[in-house]
Structure 1
Amino acid sequence: MKEIMAIIRMHNINDTAHALSEAGFSSMTGRKVFGRGKKNLNFELLEKVIDDGIEAPPRTLESISESQRLFAKRIMSLVVKDEDVDAVVNIIVEHNQTGNMGDGKIFVLPVAEVIRVRTGEIGDSAI
């Protein structure tokens, strides 16, 4: 069994959840989170703008402030059988990939055990 955690854009959550459900993967958990990727702040440019009074285009100043802030995202998490990992990952990619920064990340983690509280089922049958 594997847990698939996908960090995606806020506006894609419903479309992604619907596509997963249509493919038979309706059990999932979603949370609103804030974060950012690996886009780094250009400290040299910031110093020149502040210290030297250099005129910077508005878009440059906007990118400086954007690189410091956290963006609203969604994390969806599902536990699936090992043989279903590729199908789930492909659906998530298909419904979230734009080719732009911020499309998201998918993490696939091992799950040692699953136990359904209501029935006591263990393993794949508890998914």
Structure 2
Amino acid sequence: MKEIMAVIRMNKINQTKKALAVQGFNSLTCVKVTGRGKKKVNYELIEKMLEGEEEIIKSKEVTESITEGHRLISKRMVISVVKDEDVKKVVETIMNVNETGNPGDGKIFVLPIEDAYRVRTGESGKAAV
């Protein structure tokens, strides 16, 4: 089993959930997170991508003078545990939905899962997933 952690844009979460469900991957956890990558943040690009959302920068001049390039950006983390043979399909699905060609499209991490337990029944391993 593998855990797939994907950090994606806020405005891509519904498309990502739908695409994963269409592929048969309904089980996931979504968490609101904030973070940043290595490069300087282009706030104008963020404003354009958040069209119609509440997170548009209110006072760009003040923000730039205090925290230019260091502000944390709101993202979503999608977490799913899948069988080893499904990793490629899940990763490709997430990448296809979230790729815009711009910095900030996200990151996907794949981690090994040693074991899993279902609390209600006590099942373990693949049966618990």
| TM more than 0.5 | yes
Q: Distance in 1 between matches of 2:87 and 2:17?
A: 15
CA RMSD of aligned residues (A): 2.2
Q: Which amino acid aligns with 1:120?
A: G
Tell me the residue number matched to 1:9: 9
Q: Which structure 2 residues correspond to residues 1-127 of structure 1 after superposition, within 5 A?
A: 1-40=1-40, 62=64, 65-127=67-129
Q: Shift of the alpha carbon at 1:104?
A: 0.3
Shift of 1:17: 0.7
TM-score by length of 1: 0.79
User: Tell me, what secondary structure is at the counterpart of 1:95?
Assistant: helix
- Whole-angstrom CA distance in 1 between matches of 2:21 and 2:120: 22
Paired with 1:116 and 1:107, the residues of 2 have a C-alpha distance of 23
> Identity percentage over the alignment?
58
TM-aligned CA deviation for residue 124 of structure 1: 1.1
Segment drifting more, 114-123 vs 79-88: 114-123
Q: For residues 36-89 of structure 1, what are the alpha-carbon distances to aligned partners after superposition, in whole Å with 9 as ceiling and x for unaligned?
A: 001148xxxxxxxxxxxxxxxx99x95x94511000000000000000000000
CA distance in 1, matches of 2:8, 2:39: 16
**In 2: Cα distance, 1:33 partner to 1:66 partner:** 20
Gaps of 5+ in 1: 42-57
Number of residues paired by the alignment?
110
Shift of 1:117: 0.9
Runs of 4+ in 1 over 6 A off after TM superposition: none
> Which amino acid letter does the alignment assign opposite residue 11 of structure 1?
N
Per the alignment, residue 49 of structure 1 pairs with: none
Q: Which runs of 5+ in 2 are unaligned?
A: 42-59
Decide which structure has the larger Cα Rg and report it: 1
Shift of 1:120: 1.3
CA distance in structure 1 between the partners assigned to 2:116 and 2:23 by the alignment = 21
